[in-house]
Amino acid sequence: MQLEQQLRDRLEKRDILLMTHIVLGYPSFDTNREVIRQMVENGVDCIEMQIPFSEPMADGPVIVRANQEAIKNGTKVADCLSFAAEMTASHNIPFLFMTYYNIIFKYGEEAFFEKARGCGIKGFIVPDLPPEEGESFLQLAAEYEIAPILIFAPTSTDERMRVLASKAQGFIYCVARRGVTGVKSVIGEEVLEYLGRCRQATSLPLAVGFGIQDRDDVSALIGKADMAVIGSQTIRLVDEKGAGAVGPFIAGLR
């Protein structure tokens, strides 16, 4: 309930929330620190921090490269956990972990939940863990009060969405289209109809991600969803113009 309530409180003042994404250790934890500071100062409502994995199956080229570079730079899971603890202590917005299941599995599911709670993490997004394979994960999520954020896709049937919604907490991550991260989505009739189906299936807040890149994309979602997710775009921005460009970019989104 914690994460959902935090988001609902923020929705009192905003017609749409912003969630951003960073890959931990890319290009460095120092840059991560600066980027997060700028994001928070410019009104970001929630941040998903990706713990890098060598096989990021659901990600597109920008995030794949960031994962590889982060690992090559020597980023360890332990570093990600202590950095997370530092961020949650410094900034008053909810932070989530996004990663692939092997990182959690290898650490030990329960140990990971315990550690993440200690770090002040509010939710997990694990794109390769469907609820069918996540029985113990979902149980631990309830026990440790960390929201398991599940994913809707345009290919999910209404019935499937209801099953997912019954197991999710915090919010639902609605993938805007088929494909991987980082390719621009057109928020057209098809997406809006799909978001209508998502809304029907759950009372949880809806976040929309995959290819949300600019102010027009964000405003197109107002009234249709509760939170826009900016992922690859800020990584691209930091690559091209440095961390300093993030603040103005975020400020210009709403």
Partner 1 sequence: MDKQGFFGKWGGAYIPEVLHQTFQELNAEFTKCKNDPAFWQEYVELMSTYSCRPTPLTHAENLSRHFGGAQIYIKREDLNHTGAHKANNVMGQGLLVKRMGKKRVIAETGAGQHGMATATMAAKFGLACTIYMGEEDVRRQRPNVFWMEKMGATVVPVTNGSRTLKDAINEAFRDWVTNVDETHYVFGTVCGPHPFPEMVAWFQSIIGLEVAEQIIRYHGKMPARIFACVGGGSNAMGIFKRFIPESNVELVGVEAGGHGIATGLHAARLSGTDASPGVAQGYKTMFLQDDDGQMQETHSVAAGLDYVGVSPILSYLWEKGRVRFEAATDTEVMAALDLTMKKEGIIPALESSHAFVQAFKEAPQLTPDDAIIINMSGRGDKDIFTIAHAFNDPSWKDFIIKRGLEYSQGK
Interface residues with partner 1 (CB under 8 A) are 53-58, 60, 64-65, 68, 71, 76-77, 100-103, 105-107, 127-130, 132-133, 150-157, 160, 164, 175, 178-180
DSSP letter string over the chain?
-HHHHHHHHHHTT-SSEEEEEEETTSS-HHHHHHHHHHHHHTT--EEEEEPP-S--TT--HHHHHHHHHHHHTT--HHHHHHHHHHHHHH-SS-EEEE--HHHHHHH-HHHHHHHHHHTT--EEE-TT--GGG-HHHHHHHHHHT-EEE-EE-TT--HHHHHHHHHH--S-EEEE-SSS-TTSPPP--HHHHHHHHHHHHH-SS-EEEESS--SHHHHHHTBTTBSEEEE-HHHHHHHHHH-GGGHHHHHHTT-
State the catalytic residue, choosing from 9, 12, 41, 59: 59
Is 12 among the catalytic positions?
A: no
State the catalytic residue, choosing from 45, 48, 217, 226: 48
Decide whether 89 or 105 has the Cβ nearer to partner 1: 105
Is 189 among the catalytic positions?
A: no
Q: Which residues of 189-221 are buried (b: 16+ CB within 10 A; e: fewer)?
A: eebeebbeebbebbebbbbbbbbbbeeebbebb
Distance from C-alpha of 185 to C-alpha of 133, rounded to nearest angstrom: 29
* Least distance between partner 1 and beta carbon 146 (Å): 19
* Least distance between partner 1 and beta carbon 227 (Å): 18
Indicate which residues carry an active-site annotation: 48, 59
